[in-house]
Amino acid sequence: MALRIDYIAKETGNNLIRNPSLTLATVLTVAVSLALLGAALVIQRGVDGLNTRFEDDVEFIIWLNPDAQPEQQQAIDRALADSPQIASYRYITPEETYAEFQEYFKDSPSVLESVTPEQLPTSFRVVPEVPELDVVEALGQEFRQLPGVRDVDFAGEVIKRVNEFTRVASNIMLGAALASASASALLMYNSIRTALFARRREIEVMRLVGATNTFIRVPFMLEGLVQGIVGAGVSTLAVFGLNRVIRNLLEQTTFQLFDSFVLESSELASVALVLLAAGAGIGFVGSGIAITRYLDA
Amino acid sequence: MIKLENVTKEYPGGTTALKNASADIAKGEFVFLVGASGSGKSTFLRLLNKQEDPSEGRIFVAGKDVSKLSSWKVPLLRRNIGCIFQDFKLLPNRTVGENVSFALEVIGRPRHVIKNQVPAICDLVGLGEMVDKYPEQLSGGEQQRVSIARAFVNRPLILLADEPTGNLDPQTAIGIMRLLDRINKTGTTVVMATHDRGIVDTMRRRVIGLSAAEIVRDQARGVYE
């Protein structure tokens, strides 16, 4: 039997506007839960990007004491050159260090005035052979013990901390997303149950005149699907907005580390797809359970 | 057209609504089901369009064993069986025309068929002028005519009527019976459960008497008692 599209569209629409407050509540809960899911996804992708980017040129920095002897500096140089675990390294001269320093503190002339090139510690920038955090750390520790070394800085420490923080944050968000997704499925269930109750006379007549179960069910299934997908649409907009906010924040800083948190449009599209699928899923499950329970053939 | 073979219906909880009932109703017959409240008349009707399944026995409608009908075929069975009720079961938020066309819409009839058949059937039941009115604007007799139009618009083989005149005054009831008689004359089998002694005695059709869930008589041109 052909399902008449116009009839189904009309009935679905009527169901949706019959109880606007419940429909709105359902759509909003779906939107909130999926926005949380979307934010968690954005963060996870950002962290993934951060890690990849960092592994391209993972490096640690060996800072020398400002009063290190030239022999000590040469010894470190030799150790770096001899080590099979070092891919490449570069000595940053006092002039280069001072130039960086000037750039960094260009807004604070008083700081610049109080420091001369000789007072700044020079450093070696090191790119190791194996760009894994643990290996890099062990390697850095070796150099820390050499005479004339003031400290060894790992870019990795920052990264590790960021990783840890974002993992916890995105897990919390995923948990919250799961909880509110359950809430929205329950609301969906109630909203469809209410619609079924409001239309019980119609449903009784439909049964008596021989409408098929599919025909009776489809508008209610669609009602759930539409609510889920509209909610997903709202949450997608929220995620796009979040991405825009992050981009604006990053444009105001020179800190390059978090650039990967601004998603490419293809990544955004895949997040949007996940959200739409999840919204449709919530709608399908919520309305499906209500229909199976209250519309038994 | 309709055949019951030793049909028993027990409801959960142990109530027996029909006990070992057998009957054979031919195409085009007009049959009254009479008996006190709770004697099994409504169950008899509900078994015919598979709103209920028999606990024992077999039921044939239009040559098909209804008790063996798979659930997805039930809608197809019901398209051949119109139903009217004491309380009309009209949809209050739809006009007369919409109530009638609803029955065609939900079984997927194309729009042009609906456009042709709805005014025709409304004329047939004498409501041609009232297609745009809502049920609450109509009298009881007019509402029952709408429900007959809805039941008959799909030209079913069988019309089941569960006390269709129960809420109507005698004069209005006669009008409804004339209409059912006309529908019966088109070849539609009519089975009507009723308490209305006057109607049964006037029309002198086949009467199946039920008492305490059993068929106690079956007379060709019977009276109420």
- By residue range, what is the domain housing residue B117? 91-155
Average pLDDT score over residue span B119-138: 93
Report the pLDDT value the prediction gives residue B143, as an integer from 0 to 100. 96
Number of domains present in the structure of chain B: 1
Average pLDDT score over residue span A10-25: 85
Report the pLDDT value the prediction gives residue B10, as an integer from 0 to 100. 93
Average pLDDT score over residue span B119-133: 92
Q: What is the ipTM of this complex?
A: 0.90
Degrees to nearest 5, angle at CA B15 with B43 and B53: 40
Q: Please report, for chain A, the start and end positions of each structural domain, with discontinuous segments joined by +.
A: 5-54+160-294, 59-130
The dihedral over CA atoms of A280, A283, A288, A291, expressed in degrees to the nearest 10, equals -140
Instruction: Count helices and strands (H / E) in chain B.
Output: 7, 10
B148 touches chain A (CB under 8 A): no
B50 touches chain A (CB under 8 A): no
Distances (CA, A) of A116 to A106, A123, A234: 14, 16, 56
Average pLDDT, chain B: 93
Residue A115 predicted with pLDDT over 90:
no
How far is the C-alpha of B58 from the C-alpha of B6, rounded, in Å? 7
Query: Which phi and psi angles does B40 have, rounded to 5°?
Result: 115, 10
Specify the CATH number of the domain A59-130.
3.30.70.3040
Q: What is the pLDDT of residues B102-117, one digit of tens each?
A: 999 889 888 899 999 9
Q: Looking at per-residue confidence, does A253 or A2 come out higher?
A: A253
Is the residue at B171 inside a domain? no
Is the residue at B126 inside a domain? yes
Lowest mean pLDDT across A71-80, A238-247, A255-264: A255-264
Q: Looking at per-residue confidence, does A160 or A292 come out higher?
A: A292
Of chain A, the percentage scoring pLDDT greater than 90 comes to: 21
Write the DSSP symbol of residue B52: S
Q: Looking at per-residue confidence, does A131 or B224 come out higher?
A: B224
Is the residue at B224 inside a domain? no
Task: Reduce the DSSP state of residue B194 to 3 states and report it.
Answer: strand
**Are A211 and B106 inside 8 Å of each other by CB?**
yes
Is the residue at B97 inside a domain? yes
Confidence of residue A1 (pLDDT cuts 50, 70, 90): very low
Is the residue at B102 inside a domain? yes
B75 touches chain A (CB under 8 A): yes
- Hey, of A4, A201, A205, A218, which one would you mutate to test binding to chain B, going by the most B CBs within 10 A of its CB? A205
How far is the C-alpha of A184 from the C-alpha of A180, rounded, in Å? 6
Is the residue at B110 inside a domain? yes
Report the pLDDT value the prediction gives residue B165, as an integer from 0 to 100. 94
Q: What is the pLDDT of residues A252-267, one digit of tens each?
A: 765 555 666 677 777 8
**Are B105 and A208 inside 8 Å of each other by CB?**
no
Average pLDDT score over residue span B118-132: 92
Q: For residue B200, what are its two tokens?
A: 């049964």
Of chain A, the percentage scoring pLDDT greater than 70 comes to: 87
Q: What is the pLDDT of residues A35-63, one digit of tens each?
A: 999 988 888 877 776 666 555 555 677 88
**Are B150 and A297 inside 8 Å of each other by CB?**
no
Report the pLDDT value the prediction gives residue B51, as an integer from 0 to 100. 92
